[in-house]
Amino acid sequence: MFRFDDDLKVYLHRDPVDFRYGMNSLSILVEQSMRLNPMDASLYVFGNRRRDRIKILGWDGNGFWLLMKRLEADRFTWPDKKTDRKAVHCRGA
């Protein structure tokens, strides 16, 4: 099970992703495009082109989780790919 602690790392894939991708395709994308291990204790966040949907991939030690969120009337704010920013800090509500 995931623990959403302060030390949980969350990685954003900046490019839009084809939302037909499932767990296997997204884990390959983490390895090849992001050069990270999808089986680390981290979460990997992917967005579609319109930025009204996200998928979150995570490994809990025994298998992958794939979560999806669809916004009905708004858009997710996404870091611009042109910026060189390596970290985004978030805090819980």
pLDDT confidence band for 5 (50 / 70 / 90): confident
Place of tokens 């499932």: 22
Instruction: Provide the whole-model pTM.
Output: 0.85
Residue 54: which H helix or E strand, with range?
strand 53-59
Average pLDDT for residues 68-81, to the nearest whole number? 88
Secondary structure (3-state) at 26 = helix
Considering only CA atoms, give the Rg of the chain: 13
Angle made by CA atoms 84, 78, 88, in degrees to the nearest 5:
55
Domain locations in the chain? 9-70
pLDDT of residue 45: 95
Backbone angles phi, psi at 56, to 5 degrees: -120, 120
pLDDT confidence band for 2 (50 / 70 / 90): low
